[in-house]
Amino acid sequence: MSSVFTVDPHSGVPIYLQLIEQIKRSVALGVLAPGEQLPTVKQLATDLTLNPNTVARVYRELERDGIIETSPGRGSFIRSNGGVGNATRAAADVAAAAIDAAVREAKSIGIASTQAHDLFRRAIARWYPDHHETEDRSL
């Protein structure tokens, strides 16, 4: 498990958010399967060299978001019922935030909106090779 997640404590992004996003992404991608058991707070805290309270907070928030379920004495598991759907929606939110940040950055360095459109079209052509320009008229 130790190799699955990494965090960058020097980033301004709070560590617990980094970890929450990674776990949601892993669930959305099927790296963590429904019903799979997560390490204990103590285990994950030592594996990642993170404060145990930080890890406990991550588990609490994932439980609240319907990604994992915790049963006392047994441990924490990826929710079989709706866990993947919830994680996929959450991962989409992360992607939306990343796109928002990219556009904001483009604007902040003075790139005109037409030029930003152009950059987007190029990025989409690169990462969605089957995509055809006409399709996004409906967007």
The residue ranges that bind other proteins (CB under 8 A) are: 9-16, 41-42, 45-46, 49-54, 104-105, 108-110
Taking the complex as a whole, how short is the minimal distance between the CB of residue 87 and other proteins, in angstroms?
22
User: Which residue, 9 or 30, is less far from other proteins as judged by CB?
Assistant: 9
CA 20 – CA 57 distance, rounded (Å): 9
CA 112 – CA 116 distance, rounded (Å): 6
Q: State the DSSP H helix or E strand holding residue 63, giving kind and residue range, or none if neither.
A: helix 52-64
Taking the complex as a whole, how short is the minimal distance between the CB of residue 132 and other proteins, in angstroms?
34
Query: What does the angle CA 139 – CA 123 – CA 30 come to, to the nearest 5 degrees?
Result: 85
User: Which residue, 107 or 121, is less far from other proteins as judged by CB?
Assistant: 107
User: Which residue, 32 or 58, is less far from other proteins as judged by CB?
Assistant: 58
CA 83 – CA 64 distance, rounded (Å): 11
33: nearest Cα among 1, 79, 90, 72? 79
Taking the complex as a whole, how short is the minimal distance between the CB of residue 12 and other proteins, in angstroms?
2
Taking the complex as a whole, how short is the minimal distance between the CB of residue 29 and other proteins, in angstroms?
26
User: Which residue, 10 or 64, is less far from other proteins as judged by CB?
Assistant: 10
Taking the complex as a whole, how short is the minimal distance between the CB of residue 57 and other proteins, in angstroms?
8
User: Which residue, 58 or 84, is less far from other proteins as judged by CB?
Assistant: 58
Quick one: angle between helices 113-127 and 83-108, nearest 10? 140
Distance of CA 71 to the CA centre of its chain: 24
